Amino acid sequence: MKIHEYQARQLLADYGVPVPRGEVADTSRDARRIAEDIGGPVVVKAQVHAGGRGKAGGVKVVGTPLEAENAAASILGRPLVTPQTPPGGVVPRKVMVAEAAQIERELFLAALVDGEARAPVVMASTEGGVEIEEVAENNPDKIIRVEADPLVGLSPYRARALSVKLGLPTNLVHPAADLIGNLYRLFTEKDCTLVEINPLVVTVDGRIIALDAKIELEDDALFRHPDLARLHDPDQDDEHELRAARAGLSYVKLEGGRVGCMVNGAGLAMATMDITRWAGAEPANFLDVGGSASEDAIAEAFRIIVSDPEVEAILVNLFGGILRTDGAARGIIAAAQETGADLPIVVSMRGTNAEEGRRLLAESGLEVTSADSLSGAADALREVLGDAAR
């Protein structure tokens, strides 16, 4: 689960990480009042679950309360489009107004779980303020990594070594090491999957503070943190992922793909995404309807897939165990007729009532190609995509 910057910075502050004075506002009038309280230049920041706000006009440094009010008015209620939002953007419902910092240096600091290293890692870079993916691509040697022992934690000497490598002035090495230790403590105690500060800045007057804050929490650990679970903002959820969750489906939209995948079982879903790539295309989504999806759940899954304008073909790969493939076929047919979707569908069905399922689909009038193996499905997919491209 993602949380907003204003919530993340509060958590950082609770753990002793210095953040600029600031408050969140729902209206431009409130933004003005906060700017008046702070006095002096402030930064007005759109609160959305996406980074890249700065370049998109969602972060404005202003000099007076009136300018803060105007900045808030221009941000609130208008879709903000950044490389990390859906193409239509996300509408900010809140802005954060914080004391503006005078920046000397921008750094990057994050704690995350590294699946390959099978350990939490702390990453830092002298190239702050830039997306870390960009640094990884262009200046990989500028990224400093230290692994933490999952049981022992992050040893203080490692935190110190890290802050030395950041080239900080001597008097900031210890405060920075403390900050890194605190960040790591927050990361583990709150079951985060990511705590990222970008930029972490050294100010002109020689302090080190977190100017941005991004935290992602492990969904499966939220039951241990009811106070954090309450920070969930349904406004920021992907509409399709919400619908899918309500129908008991796990659905993740993948950017740039054109093949909608409907599969039962997470392992089979991964294999199906591989097949899609093998056929020369990218999957548009990961969708696991579950091992015992009903006809209605399958219909809803189909509706969600076809509501994605990027989808050009659908690959259905179902294994009938508890799930009845004839019911699945009925769900697909009903949803296709209801939505009027006329996309080519490649179907591979095995197991319970598969013959009946295939017969129903063949007689449905939909553009269905049946395949009886995974490689057959890849071949059929390659063919229908070739046709779609023509």
Which residues contact Mn ion (rule: CB under 5 A)?
198, 212
Which string of DSSP letters, residue by residue, matches 295-353?
HHHHHHHHHHHHTSTT--EEEEEEEESSS-HHHHHHHHHHHHHHHT----EEEEEEETT
Which of ligand GDP, Mn ion, none does residue 153 bind to, with CB < 5 to 8 Å depending on kind? none
Smallest separation (angstroms) from Mn ion to the CB of 76 = 20
Strand-pair partners of 43: 61, 98
Q: Is 57 in the site for ligand GDP (CB under 6 A)?
A: no
Cα–Cα dist 201/105, whole Å: 6
CB of 61 to ligand GDP, least distance (A): 5
Look at residue 96 and give the partner it binds from Mn ion, ligand GDP, none, a contact being a CB closer than 5 to 8 Å depending on partner kind.
none
| Minimum CB–partner distance for residue 45 and ligand GDP (Å) | 6
Residue type, 268: L
Q: To the nearest whole angstrom, how small is the minimum distance from the Cβ of residue 18 to Mn ion?
A: 16
Q: For residue 226, give every residue at least 6 positions away whose Cβ sits within 8 Å of its Cβ, in sequence order, or none.
A: none
Residue 202 binds ligand GDP, judged by CB under 6 A: no
Instruction: Using the rule CB under 6 A, give the single segment among 99-107, 142-150, 158-166, 339-347 that binds ligand GDP.
Output: 99-107
Q: Which is nearer to ligand GDP, 5 or 326 (CB)?
A: 5
- Name the segment binding ligand GDP (CB under 6 A); options: 32-40, 53-61, 176-184, 271-279: 53-61
DSSP 150-164: TTTB--HHHHHHHHH
333's CB contacts (< 8 A; 6+ apart) are 360, 361, 364, 366
State how far the alpha carbon of 69 is from the alpha carbons of 66, 84, 386, in Å.
5, 26, 54
Question: Out of ligand GDP, Mn ion, none, which partner does residue 68 contact, by CB within 5 to 8 A per kind?
Answer: none
By CB under 6 A, name the binding residues for ligand GDP: 43, 45, 51-54, 59, 61, 100-101, 103, 106, 129, 198-199, 211-212
